[in-house]
Amino acid sequence: MSFTRDIQPLFDEDCSKCHDYLKSGVSYKMLTTQKSSCKVTPNYIDTVNPTTSYLYLKLHENPTNGTIMKGEHWTPENINKLLLWIEQGAKNN
Ligand code: HEC
């Protein structure tokens, strides 16, 4: 999986209109170096336990904090691509 090819276009379509930090050029750094506001699963990306990545959880019903983030391009298949990318080490590729 490639962050630039597979993941960022999905943010561009559905997410960066509300979140400046998910815009191309800033999103990778922010997701891999900053902590979220969630106390339970603070890491946006967790390569040790990929399914506890807060970004991944936020794309599902009943995340560990706040509400689900949806978008028409975030199909189950594309959410799985995000998980695969995290499992492969969340590279800046
Ligand atoms: C209509 C505006 C809007 C859109 C579009 C949107 N969000 Fe959000 N997002 C919010 C608001 C408001 C919050 C704070 C409330 C919450 O966490 O439920 C939030 C919170 C978040 C958080 C938690 C941040 C933190 O540190 O707690 C993440 C991660 C997130 N959004 C990701 C996404 C993703 C990924 C998408 C695209 C699928 C998306 N958002 C689309 C408005 C939006």
Q: Where are the domains of the chain?
A: 3-87
Question: What is residue 25's three-state secondary structure?
Answer: coil
Residues listed for the chain: 93
Q: 19, 73, 74: which to mutate for ligand 1, most atoms within 8 A of CB?
A: 19
CA of 19 to the centre of ligand 1 (A): 7
CA of 69 to the centre of ligand 1 (A): 6
pTM, two decimals, is: 0.97
28: enclosing H helix or E strand: helix 27-33
Per-residue pLDDT of 29-72, as tens digits, reads 999 999 999 999 999 999 999 999 999 999 999 999 999 999 99
Q: Could you give the count of Cα atoms lying within 13 Å of 56 in the half-sphere of its Cβ?
A: 21
> Tokens 């561009």 sit at which residue?
12
Question: For residues 53 and 72, what is the distance between their CA atoms, to the nearest angstrom?
Answer: 21
